[in-house]
Amino acid sequence: MSPDAAVETRGGTTDVPPRWLNVWTVLVIGLAIYTIRMLGPEDLADFYHQERAAAYVMDALRNGNWICQYGAVGEVSSKPPMLTWLAALASLPFGQANWFTLALPGALATLGLAALIFVAGSRYFGRMAGFFGAFVFLVSPIGAKQMVLVRIDGLFSFTIAVTALLGFRAWQTGRGWTWFWLAAALSTLTKGPLGVLLAGVGFIAAFWERRTSFPASVRGSHVPGVILYFVICGGWFALAYAKFGQPLIDVMLDRELRGHIVKSSRGPGPFLQFYLPTAIFLSRYAPWSLLTCLALWRAFKHPSADAEMRRFERFVSCWFLAGLLIFSCAAHQRPDLIFPLIPPAALLAGRVVANWLEPRLHLTRWLIPAATAAALVVFSFNYLHVVKKRVRYQRTAAVKQLAAMVKSAGGTGFPLTHVRSPYALQFYLNTKEQFVDGRSVANLLRQDPTVFVATSDYDSIRKTLGADESKTHVLYRWRGSKEEPVDLISNHPRLEWTDDMHWLARPCLFRLMHVDNVDSYGDDFTFESKAPGASVTVRCVVAAPIRVRNVNSGVEKVLKPEEDWVIEFSRKLKLSVSRAGGT
């Protein structure tokens, strides 16, 4: 008998869940939440996480680093590239990345999770439980936040859920383990091997089932799947290591993997904040977290009489509880880390709601529309009004305004030098360039050629300038409450193209004479002239020699530190820059 058939019979007829309690209703609710989020202000300039993810996407698109990426300050990527790949691929049809394409993987992952919860819950707990599991996932603060978030957490949660549910099916049938390991590989390419662990802890239920007649052992062959897993994950890591070498090990395996388990850079060691994940779950997933707790109690005290339902109930319970234990032991603590635990929590909570409503099906006719409307009103008020007062939203609005100013004054290719500026500014300008140091910029501000500098560290530049500060003009300024400022400064009184300009883009300092457009892609730089007699002077500003090749003429030179090369051209000039010791 299916779970739906167990619904109470009244007056000779069987009350079954309404047909509109289906996956399409779930997706419509999810799309409504997504629309509200997208209509609200953007918060890309969040000082770290989303800007870092955007930098990885732009490094793939603007510099061609698809296997592994450099971040906003030139550091090696700390995470595998699955989110970067998806967002970058979504951006290709548009010609460049935008807020929609950055947030799209997270939105699709969240909608996919809702559909997955509905399907799995319906299969093992009944259609009402599946529907309400998806419902309490979407209309929670975590579900709404995850819907538009330029971070790996939503995608990671989705890949873990797919892996776990494929694993449960393989456990029950004794076949299909290759699909489990393929999903595990995708999860690993999203955030690392933690995904395999979080997806696999549900199998603790096999030991719980030893008292029953169902075989507790995990049957079937894992060999093809394990080989596929290591070929995919190991192959990617080998390619990344071939490009980045030891820094990849230092960042991904030492700082990120070992460091987050053993010692957090911003907090105490492991086990010392064991209570935080539980407290975060109870508060941020409220009120549904209380229903999850009730479902866990029932799983231990009153397990289902149906064998398949009981096994799934225990699998999901172990998935949640063991996952919570893993996060509780780690040194690194952050609220969004518990996102992968919300799908099993929602499955359990949905079953509690269904058990209460099944004898009261008439309530669903008004309760679900009313609850949905209330949730959408709350989300609308929060994301269309309240969040505007938060600093990261205000900072993003300021950065977008500055980007619009630069575009209106200089078009799409304006020579802007960046000194610890918000990376979101480069994103809105469709660039991916390295930051330069403030001392070098201060020297440029003292000279005659015009230089425009975007920075969050104007105070340091001002101290370096000393008495020459009077030559500096502040063309744009934003100050958030105790947060990093945003400034556009120059030795020219207006934001405009001039006939003699400096552009510091490591490893080169370019002096642009009669140039009106610049562009860069990886190690290639393109300049367009606005008058006859245009020239670009290239200077090596790094400690080691560089090789500069004039792609137009085929001539190349090796420039020693502080050595110049003046190149005259008409119309368009393309230069390729590389280390003198290699390509």
- Out of 13-17, 121-125, 205-209, 305-309, pick the least confident: 13-17
- Distances from the Cα of 565 to the Cαs of 389, 435, 583, in angstroms? 50, 23, 19
Q: In this structure, is the dihedral angle defined by the CA atoms of residues 62, 67, 71 and 75, taken in order, positive or negative? A: negative
pLDDT of residue 150: 95
In whole angstroms, give the CA distance from residue 265 to residue 443: 34
Give the per-residue pLDDT at 13. 35
Nearest partner of 69 among 284, 248, 256, judged by Cα: 248
Residue 400 has pLDDT above 90, yes or no: yes
Least confident of 69-73, 226-230, 346-350, 534-538: 69-73
Task: Look at residue 583 and tell me whether its pLDDT is greater than 70.
Answer: no
Strand residue runs (E) in 404-507:
416-419, 452-455, 473-478, 486-490, 500-505
Which amino acid is present at 562? E
Q: What pLDDT, in 10s, does the model give residues 132-166?
A: 999 999 999 999 999 999 999 999 999 999 999 99
Higher per-residue confidence, 267 vs 182: 182
Confidence of residue 375 (pLDDT cuts 50, 70, 90): very high
Task: Give percent above pLDDT 90 in the chain.
Answer: 73
Residue 495 has pLDDT above 60, yes or no: yes
Taking the C-alpha atoms of residue 195 and residue 456, their distance in angstroms, rounded to an integer, is 36
- Residue 476, strand partner residues: 488
Range in 78-87, 203-212, 308-317 with the lowest mean pLDDT: 203-212
Band the pLDDT of 217: cuts 50, 70, 90: low
Q: For 352-368, what is the mean pLDDT?
A: 85
For the chain, the domains span: 19-388, 392-579
Higher-confidence position of 73 and 239:
239
- pLDDT at residue 4, as a whole number: 56
